[in-house]
Chains A and B, each alone.
Chain A
Amino acid sequence: MKSKIILSTAAAFVAAGFVGNAQAAFPEKDITFLIPFSPGGGMDSTSRQVAKNMGKYLPNKVNVVPKNVPGAGGRKGYGLLAKAGGDGYTISVINMPGAIIPQLTGQKVNFDVTKFVWVGRMSTSPYLFGVSGKSSIKTVADLKNLGRSVKVLSTGFGSTAYTGASIFKTVVGFPVQFVTGYKGSKQYIVGVVRGDGDAGIAPTQTFNKFVKSGDIHGVVTFEEKSSFKGVPTIAEAGYPELTGLGVERMVAAAPGTPANIAKILSDAVGKAIADTDSQAWAKKTRRPFGHLSGADTQAAVDKALAIFKKYPAALAKSN
């Protein structure tokens, strides 16, 4: 009888030790950083840079190993994150609002972005709305007074550009006719220069060279402070709630990841970004970071969802 009590007590201690260890020892092995996009692009390079420097800021100095899982515009990778266990060993870069548009527009997906556990934001690319350098449209007011629909060139319905332009036109209130089917932002910007349509919306960085060469004229920028000479911000144009409209690169852990593990990851992301190596990279490649902690990222995501809720028309198909 006595031996039984000793045995079971000992077993209890051992068990408690294991459980306690599992929590306290995170991470015990390498962490996988999913990149649902092809190698070589902006998502990929930014994620790899952060992954490179994250390891040393994690307890036990494990490696953070990037893994490209491209497919279906990111959906393959997001699906993998949704299925991964909530143990903190799988994180992923998430393109917002790209990742959440499918479920908001009723498409069938095997992941729920609202269940992801946010661990930080790496960078943000606010949009610019541009027209051809030869266009008669110069200001936001011109868009409203054109007397016909503004032909906006874009990637397909459901893409971030289509949705961004949709929100813009819904809030400001000017008619738009979309021409979709372009394979990427460079393609439709060239389309604008060519005269396929009137305008296009894309991250400011993508437009940089075109504005510099005079092929594109910026109508309004969604940055907080305009980096283009003579181009007003959306706040200056009278619609401050749209400040920040663009693409954001978040990092999320799998659904169900406990808060303390999420905090460890969030701190590591922040330190990796602040690291001198990352800052030097950002300067060299002209891709500045826009870090937010895990908690602030959650707030940013909520804000974006609120705008979609406020303007449901922005998610409907326009043509």
Chain B
Amino acid sequence: MKRTKNTKIKDVVGGHLQYGWIYSNKVKEHFFKPKNFLERDARPGEFDVEGQVGSPQCGDVMRMWMKVDKKTEKIKKLKWRTFGCASAIASTSMFSVMVTQKGGMTIENALKIKPQDIMKRLEGLPSRKVHCSVLCDKAFQQVANNYFRQTGQHSRIIVEGSKIIDTRLNITERDIEQAVLDGARNLIDVQKKLKVGVGDPKAIPQIEQLIKFYNEKYYS
């Protein structure tokens, strides 16, 4: 095969679509040498909580593990695994750096990180790739919610963008979907996954209906 000259191209802009395509050096750095990903399986007690969003069908799955300083609520450790393209991997890697550097952010502050903040640190993302980093803060929200649930701080659970099913325990449609994706098949499974007892009795028929819906959606 002939040698082709390596010409330096700064960015290529898709003719009719008008967006950049080539990833920034920062994205490449975090893609080729990702930081804080969980290489081996987690040891029992190594983390306080974990969470996952996405599904391999849609092309991106992110899972995060978190260790928290219970007193200060500062994030001691945030490890992750990602199935996805370069920007999904790079944005999760960058996010993990952002929340753990300088002694760690508090959960409260980490929840304030917006996709735009991650993108800025990554020196930009091609516009069609923005959803990848959006998924990254969603994954963290899931982790934080699981932490709040575990520590009984139900009022702190963030429910934006999803319908609340159980008003007492702030369980959303998304939570139920996620529990089903994690293997829950019935109400008891879901309650175990979400670490809740029976909350709002009026919500149970609706929860069961959703469990059935998502089970059919993903497993039938």
Asked whether A and B interact, the reply is no
